[in-house]
Amino acid sequence: MTTVFGKVEYKRAYYAGCVCGKGRAPLDQAYGLEAGAISSGLGQLMALAGIAFSFEESVKWLKEFLLFEVSENSIRSETQQMGRLQQACEEQAVLASQDEKALQDRLRGDQQPAQRLYGSMDAAKVRIEPRARQGKPVAEHEDWRDMKVACWYQAEEVPKSRQSVRQRHSSERDGRVFRSTQHHYSCDIAHVDQFGKLLWASGCQAAADLVTDLVFVCDGASWIWSWSHTIIPTPYKSWIGIMLQTASNAWRMLLFPLRPIAKTGWTQSPNGSGRDRSKKSFQTCNRLAGKHAEAKQAATYFSNNHHRMRYDVFRSQAI
């Protein structure tokens, strides 16, 4: 069999005349060994390479580290096998997150969840390369799909002795600096309804259903906040939504390219506290909304999300 040390041969006891009529080797059965197979250690390494790179690039990458070559098809097979195992784990987690008895048992258990848990999610376009399937020709155009990614995490204060230069500057401005820890990621190319089941399942694994405070830090995508309102058990959960984009960032994104607006004299983002910047940004956008569609869009953006942009309040509460 092939291992991370190359091809390995081994001798073991083989018993003939068994009931099965084929004979057997107990050692093979105990360790899952099979002649010509790939060891579990090498299989995991090949799968990780297949995830991080294309299968063709993985062959070159692994050869540099292992000093021997594995085939592209073997890498594809191990990567797909890891995908199937991951999918099975996710399906089990989804079922567990919807099992009322199991969730109630967790509430009565001895687990001590963190006081506060954070969640962030986003989507990005990924290219799905066309492939010939069952004799059908390869599609002419590549397909782009939404890859939705989410992360559950906790936060801890960074000691001054371990702060980077950027963190020290933030500490001087905001007083305290935090970093994320205990990350739980999940991702899928799926509709938000399907992804929401996986997201909440991973949240249950991170004890999102047990913590006192649940904080979402996300951008302004409507699917994110719609999902948050429908899936989070708000009757017994205190949760807060925080916009990842600051008011000034939204202003730059939506208004800065507009020359007509630049001529109004609003050439710099508003100064002041987080609430003041949001208020000034909204007032200016609202004043210009009748003349410029982009300003109207920005005014709507601020109006819909002002309760998630109270940065001074969030900062004072160290949220």
State pLDDT tens for residues 192-239: 888 988 988 998 888 888 888 888 888 878 888 888 777 665 544 556
Looking at 244, 274, 290, the residue that finishes a domain is: 244
Domains in the chain: how many in total? 3
Judge whether 254 lies within some domain.
yes
- Residue of 140 and 96 predicted with greater confidence: 96
Judge whether 135 lies within some domain.
no
236/212 same-domain check: yes
Judge whether 184 lies within some domain.
yes
213/118 same-domain check: yes
192/286 same-domain check: no
Strand 213-218 relative to strand 116-128, pairing? parallel
Judge whether 15 lies within some domain.
yes
1-24 pLDDT, tens digit each: 888 888 888 888 888 876 666 778
Distance CA 8, CA 173 (A): 60
232-261 pLDDT, tens digit each: 655 445 567 776 654 445 555 444 444 444
Judge whether 106 lies within some domain.
no
149/29 same-domain check: no
For residue 34, give the amino acid letter: E
Distance CA 75, CA 169 (A): 46
203/122 same-domain check: yes
118/238 same-domain check: yes
Judge whether 313 lies within some domain.
no
Judge whether 165 lies within some domain.
yes
Q: Which helix (H) or strand (E) holds 126?
A: strand 116-128
151/61 same-domain check: no
> Range of 300's domain?
248-306
- Residue of 170 and 117 predicted with greater confidence: 117
238/156 same-domain check: yes
Note the pLDDT of residue 113.
Answer: 78
